[in-house]
Amino acid sequence: MAGYQDEPYNRLCATLLSRRLLALYTEARAAAEEHGYLHAAAIAKRAHAAGLELFGDVDSITCLVQVFISDLLARAGQPESASTQFAQAINALIFKILLNPNGDEDACQLIHLLFDTALSDPIQEPLPMRFDKFGANLKAISNIATSLHEAQPVQACLLLTAVFGTWKRFKGADDDETLLLGHKLGLVLQRLGQYEVAVSLAKDVFSRRLQRYGFDHTLTLRAAGAYTSGLFKLGYRDQAIDLQRQVYDAARRLHGDEHDQTRIALNNLVSMQERR
Check whether residue 174 and residue 266 sit in a common domain.
Answer: no
CA 169 to chain centre: 12
On whether the CB atoms of residues 47 and 21 are closer than 8 A, the answer is yes
Check whether residue 5 and residue 124 sit in a common domain.
Answer: yes
Task: Tell me what the mean pLDDT of segment 38-42 comes to.
Answer: 93
Owning domain of residue 144: 135-192
pLDDT at 17 over 60: no
Predicted pLDDT of residue 33: 82
Single residue among 154, 176, 192 that ends a domain in this structure:
192
Predicted pLDDT of residue 4: 47
Predicted pLDDT of residue 29: 84
What percent of the chain is predicted at pLDDT more than 90? 74
Check whether residue 224 and residue 209 sit in a common domain.
Answer: yes
Predicted pLDDT of residue 160: 98
Mean pLDDT, the chain, integer = 91
Domain total for the chain?
3
Check whether residue 223 and residue 120 sit in a common domain.
Answer: no
Predicted pLDDT of residue 18: 64
Check whether residue 252 and residue 269 sit in a common domain.
Answer: yes
Q: Write the CB contacts of 74 (distance below 8 Å, at least 6 apart in sequence).
A: 82, 123, 124, 127
What percent of the chain is predicted at pLDDT more than 70? 93
Sequence letter at residue 205: V
Check whether residue 246 and residue 265 sit in a common domain.
Answer: yes
On whether the CB atoms of residues 166 and 128 are closer than 8 A, the answer is yes
Task: Tell me what the mean pLDDT of segment 11-39 comes to.
Answer: 75
Residue 228: CATH number of its domain? 1.25.40
Q: How far apart are CA 82 and CA 149, in angstroms?
A: 32
Check whether residue 181 and residue 215 sit in a common domain.
Answer: no
Single residue among 116, 131, 146 that ends a domain in this structure:
131
Check whether residue 204 and residue 142 sit in a common domain.
Answer: no
Predicted pLDDT of residue 232: 97
Check whether residue 102 and residue 150 sit in a common domain.
Answer: no
Check whether residue 58 and residue 120 sit in a common domain.
Answer: yes
Task: Tell me what the mean pLDDT of segment 229-233 comes to.
Answer: 96
Single residue among 192, 210, 225 that ends a domain in this structure:
192
Q: Write the CB contacts of 84 (distance below 8 Å, at least 6 apart in sequence).
A: 131
pLDDT at 1 over 50: no
- Interval 74-86: pLDDT, tens: 999 999 999 999 9
Task: Give the DSSP per-residue string, the chain.
Answer: --GGGHHHHHHHHHH-S-HHHHHHHHHHHHHHHTT-HHHHHHHHHHHHHHHHHHH-TTSHHHHHHHHHHHHHHHHTT-HHHHHHHHHHHHHHHHHHHHTSTT--HHHHHHHHHHHHHHHH-TTTTTHHHHT-TT-HHHHHHHHHHHHHTTT-HHHHHHHHHHHHHHHHHHH-TTSHHHHHHHHHHHHHHHHTT-HHHHHHHHHHHHHHHHHHH-SSSHHHHHHHHHHHHHHHHHT-HHHHHHHHHHHHHHHHHHH-TTSHHHHHHHHHHHHHHHT-
Per the model's pLDDT, the better-predicted residue between 61 and 206 turns out to be 206
Check whether residue 211 and residue 259 sit in a common domain.
Answer: yes
pLDDT at 8 over 90: no
